[in-house]
Amino acid sequence: MSRSTQTISPDYFEDLYAADIDPWKFASSGYEREKYAQTLAALPEARYPRALEVGCSIGVLTHQLASRCQYLVAVDAAQAPIEEARRRCLSLGNVEFAQMFVPREWPQGEFALILLSEVVYYLDAADVDKLATRVSASLAPRGSIMLVHWTGVTNYPLTGDEASEIFIARFEGFIDIVRADRRPQYRLDVLTRR
């Protein structure tokens, strides 16, 4: 399997979701259920005033994360999953959805939590740098960043380990690593702004 050398374009995700609205089986996978439970359990705070979820997909984790947030902004590169996520979270008044191609596009404001789950490895190293710049500019004092990435083989520009390590290196001297968990199929890193 040959790996892409450039950031995966939004068209890739549009095509993927056109073929299957839940291509990674977020709504039914035991792996995803366990990973979501571990993600929520690893959050350093019980509640966040304003949070950002990048790569919300069809909103399965979004729905669960919303109970821990006063206000949650959830973004994805493709339109179809955003529409599905809106339907899934229709009863929640504290979630705002937007179609954005990160890091080129980024929501306004400051966030106490920025969740990057299964997204950074779609970027090339130059775009990981841009993402880190976006995150650092919008992370609240003492705010947290959570990275969750599958560690298996991919054909994306980066592996889960490469994506996490490149991103974390961009914050040297700016953040503390408060959690670095390695599970059989994924890694979970929690960083807190100094």
DSSP string, 95-133: EEEEE--TTTS--SS-EEEEEEES-GGGS-HHHHHHHHH
Note the pLDDT of residue 2.
Answer: 81
Note the pLDDT of residue 84.
Answer: 97
Tokens (6 digits) for 32: 């995803």
Mean pLDDT of all residues in the chain?
96
Tokens (6 digits) for 72: 């949650």
Query: Is a pLDDT exceeding 90 seen at residue 100?
Result: yes
CA-based nearest residue to 115, from 184, 181, 174, 190: 190
Map tokens 């080129």 to a residue.
104
pLDDT tens digits, 71-92: 999 999 999 999 999 999 999 9
**144: which strand partners?**
113, 192
Q: How far is CA 77 from the centre of its chain?
A: 12
Query: Is a pLDDT exceeding 80 seen at residue 14?
Result: yes
Note the pLDDT of residue 15.
Answer: 96
Tokens (6 digits) for 39: 């993600």
- Beta strand 139-150 with 186-193 is antiparallel
| Residue 192 pLDDT grade (very low, low, confident, very high; cuts 50, 70, 90) | very high
Question: What are φ and ψ of residue 186, in 5° steps?
Answer: -155, 165
Using a pLDDT cut of 70, give the percent of the chain over it: 99
- Domain extents in the chain: 10-193
CA-based nearest residue to 191, from 21, 179, 183, 181: 179
Tokens (6 digits) for 2: 């040959």
Q: CA–CA distance from 3 to each of 114, 151, 156, 164, 176 (Å)?
A: 27, 15, 5, 17, 31
Note the pLDDT of residue 133.
Answer: 97
Note the pLDDT of residue 140.
Answer: 98
Note the pLDDT of residue 1.
Answer: 63
Q: CA–CA distance from 84 to each of 7, 165, 180 (Å)?
A: 24, 32, 32
Look at the domain 10-193 and name its fold.
Rossmann fold (3.40.50)
Kindly state the average pLDDT of the residues 37-61.
98
pLDDT tens digits, 133-185: 999 999 999 999 999 999 999 899 999 999 999 999 999 899 999 999 999 99
CA-based nearest residue to 190, from 42, 82, 91: 42
